Amino acid sequence: MRYSALSLYLAAIAAAQHAYVTRDTGAALSSLTLSGPASIPGEWTTPPLNPSLASFSIETAFFEDYLGNASYPNTLSISLFQNLMDRAGVAPQIRIGGITADSTTWDPDQDVALYNYIDGTGALVNTTLGPQFWNSVKLLPEGTRIVMTLVSQVTNWLWIGFDLAQDLESLNYTGALSMAEAAWAGLGPDIISRFEIGNEPDQYPLDFDAQNYTMIWQPWSVNVSKALDISYPEFQVGATVIDPLWPYNTPQAEAQFDCASALAAGADDGHTVKTCSEHTYQYSVCDPIRAAVATLSNLVNHTRLAEYLDLWQPRIHAVRSQLGPDSFVIGEFNSVSCSGRDNVSNTFGQAMWLLDTTLYAASINVSRVYAHQGGPLALQSATQLNHGGLSLYNLWYPVENQNGPVQVFPAYSAYLFVSELIGGSTSLQTANIFPGRQANGSSITTAEGDPSAGQLSVYGYWDNPNAKYPAKLGILNLEMYNSTATYPRPNVTVDFSAYLAYPGQVATARTMTAPGADIKEANVTTWAGQTFATGVAEGTLVEEYITSGRIDVAASSAILITLDS
């Protein structure tokens, strides 16, 4: 199984937290008692969380749809980004990239910010950026940092039929350099956080492996740095997307092209690499076989989610050992590739999945996750389910499109939860305390002793490495409950008193909830009692104050607990 062979590189001391549980005659738990210990579980805790943990990737061709331009800024997007910055203390990072970046060029004489060329079949062939594009970027909240993807190919191979016989010279250094120079001049080092070269190069029809990719990527990154007179690491390597093979220590897995293998092949020999990025899509509707399992019930389950992300643990470990603790990011991700699935990716269930994915990724030392926003692209897959409009997995629609009007989706609430969890701190450390970790470092699964069968996930947050008690807890009840159900909404009573510094300590609870996991509307999705369907908080802020160390957590909801000092 995927979760059973991670032990070769992790410490062999079991660190799973113990819990007592009771079960009704039904399938779900009715109570959970966390037994501690209350101090940081040192072998599995993380370095301080990056304040921009919950970040975004926006498809280059759709960027102006999201932000607008200097004449017509998109006030909804700007407000939604500002909400997150106000709560986290730092703006989410924005990666400008995706598949359309590889067919994007720079035109210094273009008088509009962004122009998409769409052919007679409706296929988006290429994108051209002009000087006004940087003014669109500057509409983001002050202090927002950008990851800019540089074009690496002359043609958009995926849509117009790249010739498989073409060799690696089809890549276009001049285009990458011109884009880098324009971005550096238009935005500068205070806004640009990283450059990427190309998007998902492991899917290029060029027979890339770590060695021949590095032979191109490494000198390109060095030469761009020299041209811009950058004397420090400014590049993000990788942006690969193919899932790791399992087991990870086989010749086939070790031969995969990814961040870790590129670094091993010398990608950082020029000392240009700051971070490594890989992309994750747990499910897909790119073809009928995968679409059949891209269901809401499969998506909203901690066991499946953790088993999937655990595939990356060996790479995370390898990258961090070379580049440092803040070096591995999931630079593009979402629930269902090829632009999501209706009644799955646009529901409150996706909010639960997005929250657990973000928190679990942080617990295994992913520094930032970038939720991808874009739209279905013609012939991205010959058998894909979606065509046209904006993606069903987007957190909001900034403009009216064939898939719906301007609107905010329930998943936005998950990023509000994460941003308030960060709460301006630069010292929070986390660990998954239920179901906890196996001796090999992967999450405890149903087969390995999770009595909740993926229903519950609890995370602890300590505000300094010597803290004896956590400052915050995140409790997720992933049990599926739909708004159409004809039975009372179940809940689980969680006893967290073992994490209190003293009897009667006050805990403040804020809840993320909706009438059910199937809900698509933001105007009935609440974070701490407030809705955000218009881009700003509406309604009365609701908090619960607890002194008993016990709280009821309803099915398909999540609670952030802050413990008074």
Nearest to 161 by CA among 103, 212, 105: 103
Task: Output the pTM of the full model.
Answer: 0.94
Do residues 201 and 151 touch, judged by C-beta distance below 8 A? no
**According to the model, what pLDDT value does residue 131 have?**
97
Tokens of 551: 């709280």
- Confidence grade of residue 132 (pLDDT, cut at 50, 70, 90): very high
Residues 6 or more apart whose CB falls under 8 angstroms from that of 235 comprise 194, 195, 196, 197, 221, 224, 225, 272, 273, 274
**According to the model, what pLDDT value does residue 27 have?**
60
- Cα dihedral sign, 261-262-267-272: negative
- Would the pLDDT of 513 be above 80? yes
Tokens of 374: 């874009």
Give me the residues paired with residue 440 across strands. Answer: none
Please state, in angstroms and rounded to a whole number, the distance separating the CA atoms of residues 524 and 285: 28
Tokens of 460: 């602890």
- Would the pLDDT of 212 be above 80? yes
| Packing angle of the helix pair 210-228, 173-186 (nearest 10 deg) | 40
Please, where are the H alpha helices in 229-347? 251-254, 259-264, 288-291, 296-299, 302-310, 313-323
Tokens of 215: 């032979």
Give me the residues paired with residue 369 across strands. Answer: 54, 330
Q: Are strands 507-513 and 544-546 parallel, antiparallel or unpaired?
A: antiparallel
Please state, in angstroms and rounded to a whole number, the distance separating the CA atoms of residues 413 and 75: 18
Residues 6 or more apart whose CB falls under 8 angstroms from that of 72 comprise none
- Would the pLDDT of 157 be above 50? no
**According to the model, what pLDDT value does residue 6 have?**
35
- Would the pLDDT of 16 be above 80? no
Coil, helix or strand for 46?
coil
**Structure confidence by residue, pLDDT tens digits, 298-355:** 999 999 999 999 999 999 999 999 999 999 999 999 999 999 999 999 999 999 999 9
- Cα dihedral sign, 374-364-283-298: negative
Please state, in angstroms and rounded to a whole number, the distance separating the CA atoms of residues 490 and 483: 12
Please, where are the H alpha helices in 132-276? 133-137, 157-160, 173-186, 210-228, 251-254, 259-264
Instruction: Express as a percent the part of the chain with pLDDT over 70.
Output: 92
Coil, helix or strand for 335?
strand
Residues 6 or more apart whose CB falls under 8 angstroms from that of 335 comprise 281, 282, 283, 299, 341, 344, 345, 350, 353, 354, 393
In whole angstroms, how large is the CA radius of gyration of the chain?
23
Neighbours of 557 (CB within 10 A): 24
- Would the pLDDT of 440 be above 90? no
The whole-number average pLDDT for the span 13-29 is 48
Please state, in angstroms and rounded to a whole number, the distance separating the CA atoms of residues 413 and 382: 33
- Would the pLDDT of 393 be above 70? yes
Which of left, alpha, beta for 528 (phi over 0: left; psi -120 to 50: alpha)?
Answer: left
Q: How far apart are the first and last CA of the chain?
A: 42
Among 10-24, 112-126, 324-338, 536-550, which stretch is predicted with the lowest mean pLDDT? 10-24
Tokens of 334: 């979402």
Q: Which residue has the tokens 């590049």?
A: 235
- Confidence grade of residue 383 (pLDDT, cut at 50, 70, 90): confident
DSSP for 468-480 reads: SS-SEEEEEE---
User: What percent of the chain is helix, strand and coil (3-state, nearest 5)?
Assistant: 25, 25, 50
Residues 6 or more apart whose CB falls under 8 angstroms from that of 466 comprise none
Give me the residues paired with residue 329 across strands. Answer: 277
Nearest to 94 by CA among 114, 80, 108: 80
The whole-number average pLDDT for the span 413-436 is 97
Do residues 360 and 309 touch, judged by C-beta distance below 8 A? yes
Please state, in angstroms and rounded to a whole number, the distance separating the CA atoms of residues 127 and 113: 11
Do residues 52 and 88 touch, judged by C-beta distance below 8 A? yes
**According to the model, what pLDDT value does residue 7 have?**
32
Tokens of 332: 């593009």
Q: What is the mean pLDDT of the chain?
A: 91
**Structure confidence by residue, pLDDT tens digits, 444-497:** 999 899 999 999 999 999 998 889 999 999 999 999 999 999 999 999 999 999
- E strand or H helix at 355: helix 348-363
Do residues 152 and 208 touch, judged by C-beta distance below 8 A? no
Tokens of 512: 């993320």
Sheet-wide strand order for 104-106: 104-106, 124-129, 114-118
